[in-house]
Amino acid sequence: MVNSSRIRTGRSSLGCLLTLLVLVAAGYFAVNIGEVYLRYYQFHDSMEQNARFAAHYDDDAIRNNLKLAADTLNLPEAAHTIQIRRRDHSITISAEYDERVELPLYVREIHFAPRVESTF
């Protein structure tokens, strides 16, 4: 007499293994995409900090700080082109760049345009 519960257990393990494989693959792809967005948020945060202290720094100093931040974050060269616009007691800082995300059988360009406005 063959115990049928052992046969079902084997099938269940295979299903669990496939589910685990799918979850690991999804996590891997999420990390690739998440890394790009994390760098964007870090760069945007750096822009906000520089805008907050804009009254103490000239445009060249702000631009250099942001170029260093873009370099540290390994952003594309286009992110080094920073536009700064000052008005009486406000500043607008912006940049535009594209990040390439490579997934198996699929490559996507994601456009980022961080922009910060602040008063001082």
User: Residue 37 to residues 1, 51, 54, 114: CA-CA distances in angstroms?
Assistant: 58, 21, 25, 11
Helices (H), the chain: 4-52, 59-72
Q: What is the mean pLDDT of the chain?
A: 90
| Domain locations along the chain | 4-119
pTM: 0.81
pLDDT, tens digit, for every residue of 50-67? Answer: 999 999 999 999 999 999
What confidence score (pLDDT) does residue 42 get?
98
What confidence score (pLDDT) does residue 4 get?
54
